[in-house]
Amino acid sequence: MIIGLYLIYTTFHLGPRFEEKTTRGSALLDAFVFHAVTAMLLYCYALCVFVHPGTIPDKEEDPSWDYDEAEGPQPIAADLLMNMQEMKRSGDRRHCKWCLKYKPDRCHHCRVCRICILKMDHHCPWIYNCVGFRNYKYFFLLLLYTSIDCLYIVANMLPTVRAGTQPTTPFMTMFWLMFGETLAGFLGVLVVLFFGFHIYLMSKAAILGFSQYEQTGVLTVDRSKLTSC
């Protein structure tokens, strides 16, 4: 999909503008902006795919997270109780029955990755990875650059699409221009709405953090509110 939009934009929009001397300068500027944003998009996409979202430490790294079925769930220690928001109704620490580890706040087991993910947002099939504590920043930036790229294609290619509706325009050129404009617009609307939803979640977390600061004098932004389950 990304490759398709790239080929349509460069072949049917930038290509003809580079051939004309009157539009060559503006086409060069458009190509620079487009490729800069696209490069950042691909960079963030690669980081979303290859950066591990984070998981609970193994027993060798930190044995305090290891759950012993023979002992059963343990009560939350007093020093952890002040910083922990999620627990069982009995007051015991949450644990994963598949990984056999205690779970911190907002940690959930992903059945696709088959591990517990820290600050899990969701498992994204587009990146074939979970979005969690360590790669959420790159996922947020991916949404930002994708929104900019799609909206830039729609706005920048609109005059070419209008010119392509002339009867003298070859049918395949008209088809690909209309298809690219429609696809970019459709994806742009979806990604912008999703991006706006994540901005809302982050702003809500910041407001809660400042409210806590007014009450306790300690500024703590609750990252568990940054993303949705």
> Half-sphere exposure (CA, 13 Å, Cβ side) for 156?
24
* Distances 174 to 166, 183, 214 between C-alpha atoms, Å: 9, 14, 59
Angle at the Cα of 132 from the Cα atoms of 101 and 76, rounded to 5 degrees:
35
Structure-token pair, residue 39: 């490069």
* Residue appearing with tokens 């306790």: 216
C-alpha–C-alpha distance, residues 35 and 152, integer Å: 11
C-alpha–C-alpha distance, residues 146 and 151, integer Å: 8
DSSP H or E run through 214: helix 171-216
Of the residues 110, 124, 130, 150, only one is catalytic, namely: 124
116 is catalytic: no
Q: Are the CB atoms for 183 and 176 separated by under 8 Å?
A: no
> Half-sphere exposure (CA, 13 Å, Cβ side) for 47?
17
Amino acid at 192: V
Q: How many helices (H) and strands (E) does the chain have?
A: 6, 6
Among 109, 38, 29, 30, which residue's Cα sits nearest to residue 67? 109
Residues belonging to the active site? 124
